[in-house]
Amino acid sequence: MGNVGAKEIPELFGPDGLRTDGRRPDELRPLKITAGPLHQADGSAFVEWGFNKVMAAVYGPREVHPRHLQENNKAIVQCRYNMAAFSVDERKRPGLDRRSQEISKVIAEAFESVIFAEEYPRTSVDVYIEVLQANAGTRCAGVVAASVALADAGIPMVDLLPAVAVGKVGGKLVLDLNKLEDNFGEADLPMALVPQSGRLVLMQMEGHMHRDELGRALDMGVAGCRGIYEKMKAALRDRYAVAPAASSEVSA
């Protein structure tokens, strides 16, 4: 992880065993999901998660650009995960760096694992993720936002994809790393779950995690994903809730 040559490692747990932001080891940061905030996109979602702010939009199924990527028997999923120049402390050069391209690839593959792509041959489902404010866990926030946006766009899928990272901080496993924990932690393991099958369609890991800890880390992440899943469904329900009709109109 990124602590080579860095300053003193700060205290990451208080005397009460709570984390720097007051959370228990298995507690998520506050998560707010808004479905359908954009008007031009076929589907959209805005996720505020801790200090992250991530917008996602979905277009399609539509014609494939560039044309040669078109597949005759199914839709393809194209994803662009991008961080705004102002989303991090030190201005990031605009455009897709290699990290963003890798994340775009694994997110596209995660969604292609759950979308019923064969229903829309020769089309593309385009998923755009813009990280507007970053504070660790942006790829997971991006997956959550994009997943709700896909549902908002009416793309048929096996399931929504909740996502969260499990990390190791000061020798302890914790759920949903914040920026400080991400900078000074020993390991980071982001994942995305298909709740219905209990299988992971996105998983990456970096750092040091002993072989005996892996099982517990995965269990913690899966449990975290299940909590996020409920919030994703609630966001979609809010978006499509029908306002209760006035009693006078309920006749007939």
- Using CB under 8 A, list all residues that contact other proteins: 1, 4-6, 98-99, 101-102, 104-106, 109, 112-113, 189, 194, 197-212, 214-215, 218-219, 222
Residues 6 or more apart whose Cβ sits within 8 Å of residue 219: none
The tokens 């009460």 sit on which residue? 16
User: In terms of CB distance, is 4 or 245 closer to other proteins?
Assistant: 4
User: In terms of CB distance, is 219 or 230 closer to other proteins?
Assistant: 219
User: In terms of CB distance, is 62 or 101 closer to other proteins?
Assistant: 101
- SS3 annotation, 24-80: CCCCCCCEEEEECCCCCCCEEEEEEECCEEEEEEEEEEECCCCHHHCCCCCCEEEEE
* Other Cβ atoms closer than 10 A to 249: 7
> Minimum Å distance from CB 217 to other proteins?
9
> Minimum Å distance from CB 4 to other proteins?
5
Give the Cα separation of 166 and 216 in Å (integer): 10
User: In terms of CB distance, is 219 or 238 closer to other proteins?
Assistant: 219
> Minimum Å distance from CB 113 to other proteins?
5
User: In terms of CB distance, is 85 or 204 closer to other proteins?
Assistant: 204
> Minimum Å distance from CB 230 to other proteins?
20
165's tokens: 């990272």
Phi-psi region of 156 (alpha: psi -120 to 50; beta: other; left: phi over 0): beta
> Minimum Å distance from CB 186 to other proteins?
9
Phi-psi region of 137 (alpha: psi -120 to 50; beta: other; left: phi over 0): left
> Minimum Å distance from CB 175 to other proteins?
15
Give the Cα separation of 150 and 28 in Å (integer): 23
User: In terms of CB distance, is 84 or 218 closer to other proteins?
Assistant: 218
